[in-house]
Amino acid sequence: MIELERISRRYESTVAVDDVTLSIAEGEFCVLIGSSGAGKSTVLKMINRLVPPSSGRIRIDGADTARLAVEALRRRMGYVIQSIGLFPHWTVARNIGTVPELLGWPRARRRERAAELLDLFKLPPGEFLDRYPHQLSIGQQQRIGIARALAADPAILLMDEPFGALDPITRETLQAEIAQIRRASRKTVVFVTHDMDEALRLGSRIAVMDNGRLVQVDAPLAIVAAPANDFVRELIGRDDLGLKLLSLDRVASRLRRGETAPGDAIGDTLTLRQALSRMIADGKDRLPVADAEGRALGAIHLADLLRR
Amino acid sequence: MMAKALRDPLLWASLALLALVLLMPDAKPAFAALFPALERPMFELDSFLDLTLWHLLLVGASSGAAVLLGVAAGIFVTRPSGAEFRVLLDTVVTIGQTFPPVAVLAVAVPVIGFGFDPAFIALLLYGLLPIVEGTIAGLEAVPAAVREAARGTGMGQLACLLKVELPLAAPVIIAGVRTSVIINIGTATVASTVGAWSLGLPIIIGLNAANLAYILEGALPLALLAVVVDLAFGRVLSSLQGWRRA
């Protein structure tokens, strides 16, 4: 449980964060979104005290963070940044083991943990443990960056535009991976982005910030269905509001079980938006649906997509 | 393995230096033949081994002190608490560099007398600039993201400095030290004008007595010494950067 209580951050003449109150429950995936300079990164950095609040209080599980030892506090939270920041002179194994090393874990256990995390990201440990960051692709580097944040199994994960520097395909893969990791571990995630699609895809709750203030905090569906003001509407994008809504739900929810349709099947975990895209591309108003193993489940109709 | 060791220039340069220093007196007939007009073609006031060791001691002590002071000062001014001293430090070390060592000796001798001490001070001041600049440049080249990650993962100031910043800055710092030491090896010859023992002694005496043989006998081992030390630094530098080649 993270409670931000009326926190502000002022620089000489500007106010980066203005009186923000927000409480993030355990296991929640809270996305902070806004245009650049909205103060979302500053809020994130105040949680691990990389930026001290000018006023206000932050509590984690009831304890005021200002009273905790700052290094100990940071070791309890994973931290992932857009520019990744792997230590270039350390191997992948040592990079992942950064926090465990600071916590004094023995070497063998750190290496074992690093191998475990590489497995989680489907990077063969035998191949990757002893490589250096410059030998990896950007996508692999950011996987190591996330693995480093997860190494000591922190209850809280802070992510500052972690996928901002990645190409769209890698970004989507990593989004799927992080969503899956969170589902498996029930970590509390605070995630900063300026990409509404990413926010809608990942967040269990979305906090929209503008000019240092919190504008709207709601579930993804509520944000899209009832934007609080023009800024939020703008952020969602007026023109593809409908598509955004479709991207919040999956094929499985509108499936007509047992029905059949001609053509190539789509997976039941695709979003409705992806299903619509396929219908348009294939020139069909219904498509067969199959599960991950390729077993036929049923069909989905264009009309099903229009239901709210 | 053996063959590789035999191709090592550092090994050969070191052996050549050793041979030159130990066998110099045996070259007396050669120098006599080269300079038939000279009454004393071989410098015999002290052994060349002695002079070389004194030279190394003088350079080692002054450069060692310059490294300690220079790196410490460079670290200090790149911390938030020391940032305001940065300009002052720049000014001081630049003055140290522009002030000729001979002038420092001239000022120092009346205060602390002849011998090793004034030479030590002059060389220390003269050698600071490349070390301080290298330290500052090296530390500032550490990417901000890396520093942020270090702090974000819960490294303290000292851990961040020792585990991340200094190892990443090391090549630039060592390059500064290398420049400083090589310059000091040459500059240490002037120490013999104030009575410090060094390879400058035959050179200074040779200059005063118009004895070209003496000058050569000092300059040859001196040049070879600089080459050996430079090669050794090259070795250290490449061993520090093994990860870049991986």
Q: Are A50 and B148 inside 8 Å of each other by CB?
A: yes
Contact predicate B134/B173, CB 8 Å? yes
- Summarised one tens digit per residue, pLDDT across range A17-37 is 999 999 999 999 999 999 888
Q: How large is the angle between the packed helices B86-98 and B48-77, nearest 10 degrees?
A: 160
Across the interface, whether the CB atoms of A89 and B148 are under 8 A apart is answered: no
- Chain A hits for B143, CB-CB cut-off 8 Å, are 83, 85
Closest CB from A72, A85, A135 relative to B145: A85
Please, is B150 exposed, middle or buried when counting C-beta atoms within 10 Å of its C-beta (0-12, 13-18, 19+)? buried
Q: Residues near A238 by Cβ (< 8 Å), separated by ≥ 6?
A: none
- Alpha-carbon distance B138 to B156, whole Å? 20
pLDDT of residue B180: 95
Beta strands in chain A (DSSP E): 2-10, 15-24, 29-33, 55-60, 63-64, 77-81, 156-160, 188-193, 205-210, 213-218, 256-257, 266-267, 286-290, 296-301
Distance CA A277, CA A271 (A): 10
Q: Give A75's contacts in chain B (Cβ within 8 Å).
A: 153-154
Residue B105 Cα to chain centre, angstroms? 18
Taking CB atoms and an 8 Å cut-off, how many pairs form between chains A and B?
68
Question: Which pLDDT score, from 0 to 100, does residue B16 have?
Answer: 92
B215 vs B205: CA distance, rounded Å: 8
Distances (CA, A) of A153 to A61, A223, B75: 17, 31, 34
Locate A238 and state its tokens. 């007026």
Rounded to an integer, what distance in angstroms lies between the CA atom of residue A208 and that of residue B103? 67
**Smallest CA–CA separation between A25 and chain B, in Å?**
22
pLDDT of chain B, 246 residues: tens digit per residue: 667 777 888 999 999 999 988 888 888 888 888 888 888 888 888 889 999 999 999 999 999 999 999 999 999 999 988 889 999 998 888 887 888 888 888 888 888 888 888 899 889 988 999 999 999 999 999 999 999 999 999 999 999 999 999 999 999 999 999 999 999 999 999 888 888 889 999 999 999 988 899 999 999 999 999 999 999 999 999 888 878 887
**Interface mutation target, options B147, B151, B153, B162, chain A, most CBs of A under 10 Å:** B153
Rounded Cα–Cα distance for residues A25 and A187 (Å): 10
Q: What is the pLDDT of residues A175-221, one digit of tens each?
A: 999 988 888 888 999 999 999 889 988 999 999 999 999 999 999 98
Confidence of residue A116 (pLDDT cuts 50, 70, 90): very high
The verdict on A131 touching B (C-beta cutoff 8 Å) is: yes
DSSP letter (8 states) at residue A103: T
Distance from CA of B95 to the nearest CA of A (A): 36
From A120's Cα to the closest Cα of chain B, the distance in A is 21
What's CA B181's distance to the chain center, in Å? 1
Does the distance separating the beta carbons of A81 and B168 come in below 8 Å?
no
**CA dihedral sign, ordered A302, A174, A77, A111:** positive
B145 contacts in chain A (CB < 8 Å): 81, 83-85
Main-chain dihedrals φ then ψ at residue A238, nearest 5 degrees: -60, -40
- Nearest residue of B to residue A158 by CA position? B152
Q: Would you say A203 and A29 are in contact if contact means Cβ atoms under 8 Å apart?
A: yes
**Residue A135: pLDDT above 90?**
yes
pLDDT at res. A79: 96
Whether B6 contacts chain A with CB within 8 A: no
A86:B153 CB<8 A: no
Q: Can you tell me the ipTM of this complex? A: 0.82
Structure tokens at A28: 């929640």
